[in-house]
Structure 1
């Protein structure tokens, strides 16, 4: 693997710079999450987002996605259901399987979160030169592609 960037930067320097920039990005991301009402934990928000992306996901699937044990995810879903954000319902293709779906209120919260994230990120992006915005997006897309190509679950690197 190439250890030096095009400008002679070491991989270490690039890693450090990336880490600092991502900390700012994550802070902005978290700030958007704090504006959602009702206030939800990061895990609760993650469960809502995963359920939205995967309609009728079951408890086991959600547990795998969030990296938690099924009993803990069941309790998490109990709390989200009690708050009126999530609903358990039979899966049409299986009489025994129970799927998870967002309620109207759950969808409204996710929509509000996406809108707030877009607003915060848009504010920052407008302060960047247009060329830098394009480079930023290209870099994030390349980073995402490289991350998807890696097998992080087994601890191996691509």
Structure 2
């Protein structure tokens, strides 16, 4: 069940307590982490709900792999396995299923014929575009219910979160 936007989020006031400092106390950092985790869980629920039409036809792991392939346009099996945080053999079996479903294409790399490069097929591209469109429409519906100040704060917070994430990798 998706929490209502007026439901309290654990640690939601932590951002106000931490404003103005580069470092935060361990307690405040823990409160903020709890709020981010709760938000991430709600966001995942919204995204999952948006894709319910897929049912069991494309399991979440397969869709995740397709989204990763799309983000990189083309990548080899090892890179996909790394992104999926899975073994090469498990990723290879996953790719077997995706290829059998007509969602990816595997080709030999131009510079090293032993390397296999994975890309989306036309059907895979349509599925990824459909899934992203569904998720974005659902998210836009929710964001539309926010105040202008809330939307601005969300954008600022997400930009800062992304910058911190980019700096930590």
| TM-score scaled by length of structure 1 | 0.83
- Alignment of 1:140 onto 2:140: no
| Structure 2 residue corresponding to 1:59, chosen from 53, 65, 77 | 77
Gaps of 5+ in 2: 1-16, 21-26
Q: Which residue of 1 aligns with 2:141?
A: 123
Q: How far apart are the structure 1 equivalents of 2:19 and 2:120?
A: 47
Structure 1 residue runs of 4+, over 4 Å off? none
SS of 1:31 mapped into structure 2: helix
Q: In 2 relative to 1, CA 112–38 (structure 1 residues): closer, same or farther, beyond 3 Å?
A: farther
- Alignment of 1:150 onto 2:163: no
| TM-score scaled by length of structure 2 | 0.78
Q: Which residue of 2 aligns with 1:15?
A: 33
Q: Which residue of 2 aligns with 1:6?
A: 19
Report 1:69-84 matches (<5 A).
69-84=87-102
SS of 1:17 mapped into structure 2: helix
| Structure 2 residue corresponding to 1:96, chosen from 107, 114, 117 | 114
Q: Is the 1:37–1:109 contact (alpha carbons within 8 Å) kept by the matching residues of 2?
A: no
- Alignment of 1:106 onto 2:124: yes
Q: How far apart are the structure 2 equivalents of 1:105 and 1:42?
A: 17
Gaps of 5+ in 1: 152-158
Q: Which moved more, 1:92-101 or 1:72-81?
A: 92-101
SS of 2:18 mapped into structure 1: coil
SS of 1:15 mapped into structure 2: helix
